[in-house]
Structure 1
């Protein structure tokens, strides 16, 4: 017989996220919100049943340790609905003022204007595209070299980064430079990788999910957390991460402050999860280093 004590830390975090977003949908979303809340309640119940599933090896072990990170694309698609329940506004004007205050300009416009080089654009757009590989490489890599518990710790950091960003998207939706400013023109706009990345976003982006950059927050959290378990993964992935971070602003996917706050989210989460007393996969406190 199993109980809630058998849930992993990542399960408990997911229950908190689905519970909170379900309440927001129920309170602010009317009839359609009630449907979302009902779906979230079913998901919470399903998570509680995960306690009985305890694989530690193979594909089952990967899914068990990191299942919320695997579901984030579906959760991302839901945000365009959730952020309309709480407010009809987008707060781009506010974020643009922050950029002007911090940078003295709009980096999402100025960078490509100051550096209108096709080769640079293609490299940075490749970095942005590599986002889709950074998290899987970090998580699967650390599982391969350090095992189930290391994978769970890294996946917990990634999931926390996503959830923090997603909650901000719900209460403070920002459309982003792609919706506010003209597309990059000239030779840059004819680049192969430029067209590929922009085509992907036009077919699968959720409006209102610009601030902070969840791409940066989640991928950087993955690299830092995996690097703690095995430094080779940090060394392998940090250069693509830098290109991703620059590419989010250069390509007008995010404002400059989006990138900065994405970095802060990743660092804050990885710092919090490293503190003595941080939960282990079992959900029980880990001993303070040097104590058994």
Structure 2
């Protein structure tokens, strides 16, 4: 394993594909900050943070050129993927300025299903035997991604850059949608309007309510469960009233399952229970409307194909050719 980690690779390239798409997203959102500058909460700090990301990217390039091996290549990819934890809440800084659209989605749920599935699901299955497995599936979202990425790194290194690019690009595609489509999800919208209105099937528009309010309703289920508490803790730290439609949890995890299936079907079978629980959990914990999850699943195949096409068009030559 140590031999593979420190095996030399081509040091002649500059930016990796995943760094290129990250810098493009950085530049586009920076331009959007400048356009919305007077209305934003802390645009100057956001621009400085983006500059810091650019500097970090090039510092890692210099590190890689000094020590060109698989390990430093992995570090470069891992840093760009870890920065998704910054880019996700960042979408809220944009869409908080626009009128919230949850009332349209809650109304659509009522028309399509005759109820609010996010409410009814948790009412039907409140016990620990449902709550803990669903919360476990939701919690394993990022571990699932990590498992597949590391598998490619260790066993299919020639495809490693491609799958990192496809994953990060897929996230960015969803993030652009979230910036332009401000939908917070039931866990934010329902407490904002009150459960009395939800039960009466009244879903009022609330304008830019979330620009100054971000109260998150505690999730349903068995509140003393380990995974329940882990999910609650992670949401308290990183969740914002944004990114409900379509569900990137469902979309990205579906893309991860496609990647796992293509490289190792046994790996896909191992991940499948977590994937199914995760998809159910998005509605069960009221993070998403059911239509968010459905569109997240369907959109995953289009997003995967688009990101793959972008990689093929923009980065033709194989990356990380091992030096003889």
Q: Shorter-chain-normalised TM-score: which range?
A: 0.7 to 0.9
Native 8 Å contact 1:142 1:230 kept in 2: no
Distance across 1 between alignment mates of 2:303 and 2:220: 40
Look up the SS of the partner of 1:278 in the other structure: helix
Cα deviations across residues 142-188 of structure 1 (Å, max 9, x unaligned)?
211111x3222221222122111211222212221112336579873
1:230 to 253, 257, 264: 264
Unaligned runs of 5+ in 2: 1-10, 196-216, 319-324
Once the two structures are TM-superposed, the CA of residue 273 in structure 1 deviates from its matched residue by 4.2
Once the two structures are TM-superposed, the CA of residue 218 in structure 1 deviates from its matched residue by 2.3
Look up the SS of the partner of 2:83 in the other structure: helix
Flag the 1:265–1:45 CA change in 2: closer, same or farther, 3 A: farther
Distance across 1 between alignment mates of 2:95 and 2:259: 29
Once the two structures are TM-superposed, the CA of residue 274 in structure 1 deviates from its matched residue by 4.5
Native 8 Å contact 1:175 1:208 kept in 2: yes
Distance across 2 between alignment mates of 1:245 and 1:142: 24
Native 8 Å contact 2:102 2:183 kept in 1: yes
Flag the 1:115–1:94 CA change in 2: closer, same or farther, 3 A: same
Number of aligned pairs? Answer: 278
Cα deviations across residues 179-229 of structure 1 (Å, max 9, x unaligned)?
233657987344443233223212331222222222222232223224323
2:4 counterpart residue number: none
1:7 counterpart residue number: 15
Distance across 1 between alignment mates of 2:51 and 2:237: 29
The alignment yields a C-alpha RMSD, in angstroms, of 3.0
- TM-score for both structures, normalised by structure 1: 0.82
- TM-score for both structures, normalised by structure 2: 0.74
**Structure of higher CA gyration radius:** 2
Look up the SS of the partner of 2:18 in the other structure: helix
Native 8 Å contact 2:170 2:303 kept in 1: yes
Distance across 1 between alignment mates of 2:281 and 2:305: 25
Off by >4 Å, runs of 4+ in structure 1: 44-52, 182-187, 273-277
Distance across 2 between alignment mates of 1:18 and 1:185: 33
Native 8 Å contact 1:169 1:211 kept in 2: yes
Native 8 Å contact 1:138 1:222 kept in 2: yes
Look up the SS of the partner of 1:209 in the other structure: coil
Once the two structures are TM-superposed, the CA of residue 234 in structure 1 deviates from its matched residue by 2.1
2:181 counterpart residue number: 172
Distance across 1 between alignment mates of 2:310 and 2:235: 40
2:206 counterpart residue number: none
1:240 to 274, 279, 290: 274
2:229 to 175, 188, 195: 195
